[in-house]
Amino acid sequence: MVEFRVNVSTKDGKTRQLEVKDQHAGALLGKRIGDEVDGILVGLPGYRLVITGGSDRDGFPMRNDISAIGRKNVLLSKSKGFKAETEGQRKKKHVRGNMVSQEITQINMKVVREGPRPIEEKEDEGSKTA
């Protein structure tokens, strides 16, 4: 089964970590960076979220300018996936494409439209049932 750890960034600058499993995780497969998804997929009904990135099980980051599912070895200058030590330095690095697949373990999202209930209330419910 597919399982994702989803980091949701809110407009107040805080980030919440949520676990997504089973059919909701299956609904995220095939989505790309920049796609807007319904918050019900991550347990936040009424919310609208946009996918901003992620990483696979080995820590390779997703890049929105690479249209692929798997890893690619690309020449990068200072950008996501490579921190240049000197100005103008470039290096070949492995990065992952912009599509969510079964190899992805972490997905980063940000809130586009908030729902009727704050995320903190959902977290409080989860701690009460545990």
* pLDDT one-digit tens code per residue, 8-20: 999 888 999 999 9
* pLDDT, position 130: 38
Closest C-alpha to 98, from 68, 58, 61, 74: 68
Which domains, and CATH codes, for the chain? Answer: 3-65+98-129 (3.10.20)
Count of alpha carbons within 13 angstroms of residue 43, beta-carbon side: 20
* pLDDT one-digit tens code per residue, 62-75: 998 888 888 999 88
Q: Which pTM was predicted?
A: 0.84
Mean pLDDT of the chain: 87
* pLDDT one-digit tens code per residue, 36-71: 999 999 989 999 999 999 999 999 999 988 888 889
Percent of the chain topping pLDDT 70: 92
Q: What does the angle CA 47 – CA 50 – CA 56 come to, to the nearest 5 degrees?
A: 120
